[in-house]
Amino acid sequence: MSAIVISGKELAQEKRMEMKKETDLLKEKGVTPGLAVILAGEDPASQSYVRAKQRACKETGIHSELDEVPDTISESDLLEKIDQLNKADHIHGILVQLPLPDHISEKKVIEAIDPEKDVDGFHPINIGRMMIGQEAFLPCTPFGIVEMIKSKQIDIEGKHVVVVGRSNIVGKPVGQLLLNENATVTYCHSRTKNMREITRSADILVVAVGKAHFITAEDIKEGAVVIDVGVNRNDEGKLIGDVDFNHAKEVASYITPVPGGVGPMTITMLLHNTILSAKRTVE
């Protein structure tokens, strides 16, 4: 058996075509969805990611603004920039690219963003709303993962989901979103004992630990759905995931690749949230 590959790249393209139609309709009503991105410093990975977001905005008709500031910017100056964007009527989504310089509090920055413009879905108010199943801006990577699973009509209800990793950005929220879909969710992390025993019980296995080929075919139940969130580089500089794809695909029923899997969907759901925010202004 060889698994069916869930291509985030293809799904993202489909969704962005629909988003372009939505932005065109909004523009007819006099509203152009606007996304503002603040990038502090010159981290190459962050710069690459921000450029990809800008290209995606252009592709879908979203107005984007990028404010590149030095990594020496003071915390108070950064918070002031966020405050100005909170008050800007033409901006519907605000994203501060992480990681931030060491002297700036990530917590303060996230909490400074207006929850109604928090299109990254990291503000405690949006996280709280998500937890209790209320309407909220959902964190983009977990949101994209759920969309990928649903795109293949894979039933989530009643399934055992195992999430390997418990970060606030991916692990915890993706487990909660799948719980909201009536899955039974187990988290594994660095302190988990007998991890293979747990991962082998998963109907759906989500891996987000940032360790190359951490999960092998032996860790996967026959026929499981495997979602690989990891992005790592091997010794040759090639991008690889947290899952040993070539061997895992012989065991799994569905699997996501790296690259071309979860990554494109993360940016796509950011666009979705920005358009949703803009729609709220005309409803």
The span from the CA of 248 to the CA of 152, in Å, is 19
Edge-to-edge strands, sheet with 93-96? 63-69, 34-40, 93-96
* Residue 228 CB-half CA count within 13 A: 33
Residue 55 neighbours by CB distance under 10 Å = 12
Half-sphere exposure (Cβ direction) of 199: Cα atoms closer than 13 Å: 26
Residues involved in catalysis: 53, 97, 120
Q: Which whole-number Å values give the CA distances from 280 to 27, 92, 117, 227, 283, in the listed order?
A: 14, 9, 11, 32, 5
CA 143 to chain centre: 6
148 touches 262 (CB < 8 A): yes
Q: How far is CA 251 from the centre of its chain?
A: 26
Six-digit token string for 205: 């296995």
Give the torsion through C-alpha atoms of 165, 114, 279, 33, to 10 deg.
-90
Please answer whether residues 99 and 169 qualify as being in contact, where contact means their C-beta atoms are separated by less than 8 angstroms: no
Going residue by residue through the chain, which has 283 residues, state the pLDDT in tens, using 9 for 90 and above. Answer: 699 999 999 999 999 999 999 999 999 999 999 999 999 998 888 999 899 999 999 999 999 999 999 999 999 999 999 999 999 999 999 999 999 999 999 999 999 999 999 999 999 999 999 999 999 999 999 999 999 999 999 999 999 999 999 999 999 999 999 999 999 999 999 999 999 999 999 999 999 999 999 999 999 999 999 999 999 999 998 999 999 999 999 999 999 999 999 999 999 999 999 999 999 998 7
pTM of the model: 0.95
Q: Which of 224, 281, 277, 282 is nearest to 248 (CA)?
A: 224
